[in-house]
Amino acid sequence: MKQILPNMWQWSWFSDEKQLDFNGLLLTIGEHAILVDPPPMTPEARTIVRRHEPIDYIVLTNRDHLREAPAYQAEWHCQLYVPEADAAQMEVNPTKTYKDGELLPGGIWVIQLKDQKSPGESALFIERGRGVLIVGDALIGKPSGSVSMLPAEKYADVTKAKEGLRRLLKYEFDSLLMGDGVSILNGGKQPVERLLTLPS
């Protein structure tokens, strides 16, 4: 668990299957403490999270990032927010579902992305400082300092999926925090621009 930005911490769990880090975030925004896409925690990470109790919300970016959310929801008695379009495909009872354009607690804007691996795939945008964008499976932070899409077989139509990601370029962000792979704390928009302006 390390502090990566003011009021933002990240911890990671290495996936042998995917050969990359699954990342979770702890955000303390205003009066709220929020976990995003939480993978398993080390004892050290849990200690830091406990320092910020009560945990108010767990927010998931897509159906496949359920990870340890049910266990942590039970442990911290917090609310669970999931994308409305993915909720029916998840084995969990969320406190609330959210949809595109919604403003979540802590001033987090929802950006739902079309034609991705799951219908509810959403990025989370925090308009503070120079802008922070949080992505789940929309982009992968691999190799370090770059971004990539999931393997083509994960999409019904990879060309449409890439086109759906172009919406991210409408937002001004400097930090790109990844659910999978390596986050980019400065200059995060440029690798996204490079990826999405390359020929398919």
Per-residue pLDDT tens over the stretch 86-127:
999 999 999 999 999 999 999 999 999 999 999 999 999 999
pLDDT higher than 80, residue 69: yes
CATH superfamily of 2-197: Ribonuclease Z/Hydroxyacylglutathione hydrolase-like (3.60.15.10)
Rounded to an integer, the average pLDDT of 162-180 is: 97
pLDDT (0 to 100) of residue 129:
84
Q: Where are the domains of the chain?
A: 2-197
pLDDT higher than 70, residue 175: yes
Mean pLDDT of the chain: 95
pLDDT band at 198 (very low <50, low <70, confident <90, very high): confident
- Between the alpha carbon of residue 101 and those of residues 38, 57, 108, 132, 141, the distances in Å are 23, 18, 10, 16, 25
pLDDT tens track for 125-134 = 999 889 999 9
Cβ atoms 24, 14 nearer than 8 A: no
Residue 98 burial (C-beta neighbours within 10 Å; 0-12, 13-18, 19+): buried
pLDDT higher than 60, residue 200: no
What values do phi and psi take at 182, rounded to 5?
-105, 125
**pTM higher than the cut 0.85:** yes
